[in-house]
Structure 1
Amino acid sequence: MKNSLKSLSLLTVALVMAACGQTPSATAPTTPGASTPMPAGLRSLAAVPGKWFVELEGDPTALGAQSVGAQQASFRALAAQRGVTYQEVASYSTLFNGFSVEAGEAEINQITRLPGVLAVYPVERVERPQVQRDLNAALRPEMSSAVGMTGADIAQNELGLTGKGVKVAVMDTGIDLEHPAFRGRVVAGYDFVGDKFGSQDKATGEYDFTPVPDNNPDDCGGHGSHVAGIVGGNDAAAGFKGVAPEVSFGAYKVFGCEGSTQSDIMLAAMERAYKDGMQVLNMSIGASFQWPEYPTAKAASRLVKKGMVVTVSAGNSGTSGQFATGAPSLGENVISTASVDNVKLELSNFTINPGGSKIGYQPATGAPDAPSGLTLPITKAPGSTPATANDGCVAYEANSLAGKAVLIQRGTCAFRIKVLNAQKAGAKAVIIYNNQPGFISPTVAPSSASDNVAVEIPVVSILQDDGKKIDSLIESGVSMTFNADTQSFANPTGNAISSFSSYGASPDLELKPDIAAPGGLIKSAYPLTQEASGYAVLSGTSMAAPHVAGVAALMLQAYPTIQAKDMRTRLMNTANLRWFLNGGTLVEGLPTYVQLQGAGMVDVVSAYNNTVTVTPSKLSLGESDTFATRRKVVVLKNTGARREVYTAFHYPALTLGGTTLAPRPFDQYASMTINGQQAELDSKGNGGVEIVVPPFGEVELNLVVTPPAGAPDRSQYGGYVYLQSAAGNSLSVPYSGFKGDYQSIKVLGDVRIGNAVYNFPALTDDAADELYQEGEVPAALPDYTFKKVDVKDSAGKVFSVMDAPAVLANFAHQSRRVTLELLDASGAVRDTIAVYNYWGRNATNVYADATSDAFDTFAWDGKLSGGSEAPAGQYQLRLRVLKALGDESNPAHTETYTSQKFNVVR
Structure 2
Amino acid sequence: MGSEEEVFATRFWFVELHTPPIAAGGDQAAIRKDQHAFRAEAARAGLKYTERYAFDKLWNGLSIEIDPKDRARLHSLRPVKTLFPVLEVEPDLATATAITRASIVHNTAPTYFRGETIKVGVIDSGIDYHNKELGSCFGPGCHVAFGHDFVGDAFNSNNPTLVPDADPDDCGGHGSHVAGIIGADRTIKGVAPKVQLGAYRVFGCSGSTLSDVMIAAMEKAQQDGVHVVNMSIGSAFWGWKDYPTAAAADNLVTSGVVVVTSGGNSGTSGLYATGAPGAGEKVISNAMFDNTHTRLPYGFLADGVKTGYNQATGAPAAPTSGSGQLAKNGTPQTTNDGCNVNPPPAGSLTGKIALIRRGTCPFYEKSKNAQNDGAVGVILYNNVAGRQSITVAPPTANDPPITIPVVSISDIDGALLDGYIASGQTGWTWSDQIDLFALHTAKLLNGDSSYGPSATLDMKPDLGAPGGNIYSTIPLEQGGYATYSGTSMASPHTAGAVALFLQAHPGTSPGEIRDALQNTAEPMLWSGNPSSGQFDVVHRQGAGMINIEKAINAPARVSPGKLALGEDSGQSVVRTLTVKNLTANPIEYTLSHVPAVSTTTTTATTSAFLLPTNSSAVPATVAFSAPSVVVPPNDTATFDVTITANANLPERGLYGGWIELTDGSGEKLRVPYQGLKGDYQSIEVLKPTASNFPWLAYSSNGSYFRAQSGTPFSLQNGQVPYILAHFDYQVRTYRMTAISRTGVNWGLAYEQEFMGRNSTPSGFWSFSWDGTVEQNGELIDVPNGQYYLKVEVLKPLGDPSNPSHWEVWNSPYIAIQRP
Taking structure 1 as reference, are residues 387 and 169 closer, same or farther at Cα in structure 2, changes over 3 Å only?
Answer: closer
Partner of 1:75: 38
Deviations 1:478-509 (A, max 9, x none): x9999997654420111011111111101111
CA–CA separation in structure 2 for the residues paired with 1:718 and 1:497: 16
The one of 795, 808, 814 aligned to 2:730? 814
2:179 aligns with 228
* Alpha-carbon separation, structure 2, partners of 1:519 and 1:758: 37
- Which runs of structure 2 are paired with 1:314-325 in the superposition (5 Å)? 314-325=263-274
The counterpart of 1:724, out of the listed 648, 662, 686, is: 662
Q: Secondary structure at the match of 1:240?
A: coil
The answer to whether 1:254 aligns with 2:197 is no
- State how far apart, in whole Å, the 2-side matches of 1:569 and 1:180 are: 35
Contact 1:651/1:722 (CA < 8 Å) preserved in 2?
Answer: yes
SS of aligned partner of 1:187: strand
Residue aligning to 1:551 = 497
Q: Residues 639-678 of structure 1: matches in 2 within 5 Å?
A: 639-662=582-605, 663-667=607-611, 668-676=617-625
Shift, 1:52, TM fit: 3.3
**CA distance 1:281–1:353, shift in 2 (3 Å):** closer
- Displacement of 1:47 in angstroms is 2.8
| Residues 1:836 and 2:752 are matched in the alignment | yes
Name the SS of the counterpart of 1:99 in structure 2: strand
- Determine if contact 1:656/1:664 at 8 Å carries over to the other structure: yes
Match of 1:47 in 2: 9
Match of 1:883 in 2: 795
Distance 1:337 1:895, change over 3 A: same
For residue 708 of structure 1, report the CA deviation from its aligned partner.
1.3
Is residue 619 of structure 1 aligned with residue 563 of structure 2?
yes
Q: Is 2:231 the partner of 1:288?
A: no
Aligned with 2:29: secondary structure? helix
Corresponding residue for residue 13 of structure 1 = none
Unaligned runs of 5+ in 2: 137-141, 343-352, 361-365, 393-398, 612-616
Query: Structure 1 residue 861: deviation in Å?
Result: 4.4
Say if 1:718 and 1:504 are closer, same or farther in 2 by CA, change over 3 A: same
Change (3 A) 1:440 1:694: closer
Does the CA contact (< 8 Å) of 2:387 and 2:408 recur in 1?
A: no
Deviation, structure 1 residue 460: 9.3
1:765 aligns with 2:707: no
Instruction: Indicate how the Cα distance of structure 1 residues 76 and 361 shifts in structure 2: closer, same or farther if over 3 A, else same.
Output: closer
Shift of 1:732: 0.6
> Any idea what SS the aligned residue of 1:213 has?
coil
CA change 1:870–1:461 in 2 (3 A) is: closer
Show the counterpart of 1:196.
154
Moved more, 639-648 or 614-623: 639-648
Q: CA deviation at 1:112?
A: 3.6
Q: Take 2:16 and 2:70, find their aligned partners in 1: how far apart are those partners?
A: 12
C-alpha separation between the residues in 2 aligned to 1:80 and 1:459?
Answer: 54
Aligned to 1:162: 114
Which residue does 1:397 correspond to in 2? none
Q: Do the aligned partners of residues 462 and 361 (structure 1) sit closer, same or farther apart at CA in structure 2, a change above 3 Å counting?
A: farther
1:89 paired with 2:52, answer yes
Query: For residue 580 of structure 1, what is the aligned residue in structure 2?
Result: 526
Could you tell me which of 289, 303, 308 is aligned with 1:340?
289
Q: For 1:61-460, list aligned pairs within 5 A.
A: 61-80=24-43, 86-104=49-67, 107-126=70-89, 128-129=90-91, 131=93, 144-158=94-108, 159-182=111-134, 183=136, 184-198=142-156, 207-234=158-185, 236=186, 239-290=187-238, 291-346=240-295, 361-362=308-309, 438=386
Residues 670 and 705, structure 1, Cα contact 8 Å, conserved in 2: no
Q: Which amino acid aligns with 1:897?
A: W
Check whether the contact 1:309–1:334 (CA below 8 A) recurs between aligned residues: yes
1:508 counterpart letter in structure 2:
T
Q: List per-residue Cα deviations over 1:148-186 (Å, max 9, x = no partner).
A: 110010011114011111111011111112111223222
The 8 Å contact of residues 48 and 125 in structure 1, kept in 2 or not, is answered as no
Partner Cα separation in structure 2 for residue 515 and residue 153 of structure 1 = 20
Distance 1:66 1:411, change over 3 A: closer
- Alignment: residue pair count: 773
Deviation at 1:91, TM superposition (A): 1.3
1:504 to 443, 452, 459: 452
Contact 2:84/2:243 (8 A) holds in 1: yes
Could you say which residue in structure 2 is the equivalent of 1:859? 769
TM alignment of 1:683-694, pairs within 5 A = 689-694=627-632
Q: Deviations over 1:689-729 (max 9, x none)?
A: 33322211211111111111111222111111011234354
Equivalent position to 1:804, from 698, 708, 720:
720
Percent identical among aligned pairs is 37
Separation (CA, whole Å) in 2 of partners of 1:81 and 1:88: 16
Q: CA deviation at 1:637?
A: 0.8
How far has the Cα of 1:462 moved from its partner?
A: 8.7
TM-superposed CA distance for 1:543, in Å, is: 0.6
Q: In the alignment, is the contact (CA less than 8 A) between 1:86 and 1:107 conserved in 2?
A: no
After TM superposition, give the deviation of residue 56 of structure 1 in Å. 2.2
**Which residue identity lines up with residue 530 of structure 2 in the other structure?**
L
Alpha-carbon distance, 1:781 to partner: 3.1
> Structure 2: how far apart are the matches of 1:390 and 1:660?
21
What residue number does 2:811 align with?
Answer: 899
How far apart, CA to CA, are the structure 1 residues paired with 2:359 and 2:3?
Answer: 28
Structure 1 residue 817: deviation in Å? 1.2
The answer on whether the counterparts of 2:463 and 2:541 sit within 8 Å (CA) in structure 1 is yes
CA contact (8 A) 1:609 1:729 kept: no
Partner Cα separation in structure 2 for residue 261 and residue 556 of structure 1: 31
| Aligned 8 A contact 1:362 1:462 in 2 | no
SS at match of 2:781: coil
Whether the 8 Å contact between 1:57 and 1:117 is mirrored in structure 2 is no
Provide the C-alpha distance between the structure 1 equivalents of 2:695 and 2:726, rounded to a whole number of angstroms: 9
Give the corresponding residue for 1:851: none
Question: What does residue 873 of structure 1 align with?
Answer: 785
1:877 deviation in Å?
1.9
Aligned equivalents of 1:198, 1:749: Cα separation in 2: 33
Q: Quote the residue 2:550 is aligned against.
A: 606
Contact 1:863-1:870 within 8 A present in 2 as well: yes
List alignment gaps of at least 5 residues for structure 1.
Answer: 1-38, 132-143, 200-206, 394-405, 424-429, 678-688, 752-756, 790-800, 848-853
Tell which deviates more after alignment, 220-229 or 174-183.
174-183
- Aligned counterparts, 1:461-610, within 5 A: 463=412, 467=416, 488-529=436-477, 531-532=478-479, 534-582=480-528, 585-587=529-531, 589-610=533-554
CA distance in 2, matches of 1:166, 1:177: 18
- From the superposition, tell whether residues 351 and 904 of structure 1 become closer, same or farther in structure 2 (CA, over 3 Å): closer
Which one of the candidate residues 644, 648, 658 is aligned to 1:710?
Answer: 648
TM-score by length of 1: 0.76
Task: Give how far 1:815 is off.
Answer: 1.1
Structure 1 residues 194, 620: closer, same or farther in 2, change over 3 A? Answer: same
* 1:632 counterpart = 2:575: yes
**Cα 1:807/1:390, change in 2 over 3 Å:** closer
Q: Give the SS at the match of 1:542.
A: helix
- Asked if structure 1 preserves the Cα contact closer than 8 Å seen for 2:11 and 2:68, the reply is no
How far does residue 74 in structure 1 lie from its aligned partner after superposition? 3.2
Tell me the distance in 1 between the aligned counterparts of 2:558 and 2:124: 33
Q: More relative contact order in 1 or in 2 (CA 8 Å, sep 6+)?
A: 1
How far, CA to CA, are the matches of 1:417 and 1:76 in structure 2? 51
Letter in 2 for 1:186: V
- SS of aligned partner of 1:765: strand
For the Cα contact (< 8 Å) 1:278–1:308, is it kept in 2?
yes
